[in-house]
Amino acid sequence: MQVSEFRYISLELHIITFDSTQSHPGHFQEVIYSHMKVSGLIGRIQERTGIASTRLRVFKDQSCSPESLLPLELSLEECGFHAGPRQSPPAGLLYYDYSIEFNDCPILNCDYYFTRRKQ
Protein backbone atom coordinates (compact mmCIF):
# COMPACT_ATOMS: atom_id res chain seq x y z
CA MET A 1 0.00 0.00 0.00
CA GLN A 2 1.46 3.34 -1.05
CA VAL A 3 0.81 6.15 1.42
CA SER A 4 1.89 9.59 0.25
CA GLU A 5 0.83 11.46 3.37
CA PHE A 6 0.48 9.85 6.75
CA ARG A 7 -2.81 10.62 8.45
CA TYR A 8 -3.47 10.36 12.15
CA ILE A 9 -6.19 9.55 14.66
CA SER A 10 -6.18 10.43 18.34
CA LEU A 11 -7.62 7.29 19.95
CA GLU A 12 -8.90 7.00 23.48
CA LEU A 13 -8.65 3.32 24.46
CA HIS A 14 -10.65 1.92 27.38
CA ILE A 15 -10.58 -1.52 28.92
CA ILE A 16 -14.23 -2.59 28.92
CA THR A 17 -14.26 -4.10 32.41
CA PHE A 18 -13.33 -0.78 34.02
CA ASP A 19 -15.06 1.60 31.60
CA SER A 20 -17.15 3.18 34.36
CA THR A 21 -13.97 4.07 36.27
CA GLN A 22 -12.80 7.58 35.38
CA SER A 23 -9.10 7.07 35.93
CA HIS A 24 -7.72 3.59 35.31
CA PRO A 25 -4.26 2.50 34.08
CA GLY A 26 -6.02 0.51 31.35
CA HIS A 27 -7.45 3.72 29.87
CA PHE A 28 -5.03 5.70 27.74
CA GLN A 29 -4.73 7.84 24.65
CA GLU A 30 -2.56 7.22 21.59
CA VAL A 31 -2.05 9.20 18.40
CA ILE A 32 -1.60 6.61 15.67
CA TYR A 33 -1.45 6.30 11.90
CA SER A 34 -4.86 5.78 10.33
CA HIS A 35 -3.50 3.04 8.09
CA MET A 36 -2.43 0.94 11.11
CA LYS A 37 -4.07 -2.48 11.12
CA VAL A 38 -6.18 -3.52 14.11
CA SER A 39 -3.58 -6.24 14.77
CA GLY A 40 -0.93 -3.49 15.08
CA LEU A 41 -3.17 -1.59 17.47
CA ILE A 42 -3.45 -4.71 19.62
CA GLY A 43 0.35 -4.81 19.74
CA ARG A 44 0.40 -1.19 20.93
CA ILE A 45 -2.18 -2.00 23.63
CA GLN A 46 -0.08 -4.95 24.79
CA GLU A 47 3.06 -2.80 24.92
CA ARG A 48 1.31 -0.07 26.87
CA THR A 49 -0.53 -2.29 29.36
CA GLY A 50 1.65 -5.38 29.64
CA ILE A 51 -1.26 -7.68 28.75
CA ALA A 52 0.27 -10.88 27.38
CA SER A 53 -2.93 -12.60 26.31
CA THR A 54 -3.27 -13.57 22.67
CA ARG A 55 -7.04 -13.24 23.11
CA LEU A 56 -7.09 -9.45 23.21
CA ARG A 57 -9.85 -7.95 21.06
CA VAL A 58 -10.79 -4.39 20.06
CA PHE A 59 -14.42 -3.22 19.85
CA LYS A 60 -16.28 -0.15 18.58
CA ASP A 61 -18.47 -0.10 21.70
CA GLN A 62 -18.81 -1.68 25.16
CA SER A 63 -21.21 -4.39 24.00
CA CYS A 64 -18.45 -6.91 23.10
CA SER A 65 -20.81 -8.11 20.40
CA PRO A 66 -19.54 -9.77 17.22
CA GLU A 67 -20.91 -6.77 15.30
CA SER A 68 -18.71 -4.32 17.23
CA LEU A 69 -15.53 -6.45 16.97
CA LEU A 70 -12.91 -4.89 14.69
CA PRO A 71 -11.34 -7.39 12.24
CA LEU A 72 -7.59 -7.85 12.76
CA GLU A 73 -6.72 -7.55 9.07
CA LEU A 74 -8.41 -4.16 8.48
CA SER A 75 -6.86 -0.75 8.98
CA LEU A 76 -8.54 1.80 11.21
CA GLU A 77 -9.51 3.81 8.13
CA GLU A 78 -11.11 0.69 6.65
CA CYS A 79 -13.03 0.34 9.92
CA GLY A 80 -14.57 3.78 9.34
CA PHE A 81 -12.29 6.08 11.33
CA HIS A 82 -11.53 9.45 9.75
CA ALA A 83 -8.00 10.75 9.89
CA GLY A 84 -6.40 14.16 9.89
CA PRO A 85 -3.07 15.95 10.17
CA ARG A 86 -0.69 15.18 13.05
CA GLN A 87 -1.25 18.66 14.52
CA SER A 88 -5.01 18.16 14.89
CA PRO A 89 -6.03 14.51 14.51
CA PRO A 90 -9.72 13.67 14.91
CA ALA A 91 -10.61 11.90 18.15
CA GLY A 92 -11.96 8.37 18.38
CA LEU A 93 -12.92 6.00 21.18
CA LEU A 94 -12.34 2.25 21.15
CA TYR A 95 -12.72 -0.45 23.77
CA TYR A 96 -10.64 -3.53 24.35
CA ASP A 97 -10.98 -6.68 26.37
CA TYR A 98 -9.12 -9.92 26.78
CA SER A 99 -9.61 -13.36 28.21
CA ILE A 100 -7.23 -15.42 30.26
CA GLU A 101 -5.88 -18.40 28.42
CA PHE A 102 -5.17 -20.71 31.37
CA ASN A 103 -8.68 -21.25 32.70
CA ASP A 104 -8.48 -25.04 32.61
CA CYS A 105 -4.97 -25.50 34.02
CA PRO A 106 -5.17 -27.75 37.12
CA ILE A 107 -2.07 -26.17 38.67
CA LEU A 108 -3.36 -22.60 38.33
CA ASN A 109 -6.81 -23.61 39.54
CA CYS A 110 -5.46 -25.56 42.51
CA ASP A 111 -6.94 -24.50 45.82
CA TYR A 112 -4.14 -26.12 47.81
CA TYR A 113 -3.30 -22.90 49.67
CA PHE A 114 -6.91 -22.27 50.65
CA THR A 115 -7.62 -25.78 51.94
CA ARG A 116 -4.27 -26.46 53.62
CA ARG A 117 -4.47 -26.93 57.36
CA LYS A 118 -2.67 -24.38 59.46
CA GLN A 119 0.00 -25.84 61.69
Q: What CATH class has 8-115?
A: alpha beta
Determine if the pTM surpasses 0.75.
yes
If pLDDT is split at 50, 70 and 90, which confidence band does 60 have? very high
Single-letter residue type at 27: H
Single-letter residue type at 103: N
pLDDT beyond 70 at 47: yes
Q: Are the CB atoms for 87 and 7 separated by under 8 Å? A: no
Determine the pLDDT at residue 20: 81
Single-letter residue type at 10: S
CA distance 5 to 59: 27
Determine the pLDDT at residue 103: 59
Determine the pLDDT at residue 4: 45
CA distance 91 to 81: 9
- The DSSP annotation for 13-29 comes to EEEGGGTT-SS-TT-EE
Domain chopping of the chain, boundaries: 8-115
**How far apart are the two ends of the chain, measured CA to CA in Å?**
67
Give per-residue pLDDT as tens, 9-35.
Answer: 999 999 998 888 888 888 999 999 999
When the pLDDT of each residue in the chain is averaged and rounded to a whole number, the result is 85
Give per-residue pLDDT as tens, 96-119.
Answer: 998 876 656 666 666 655 555 555
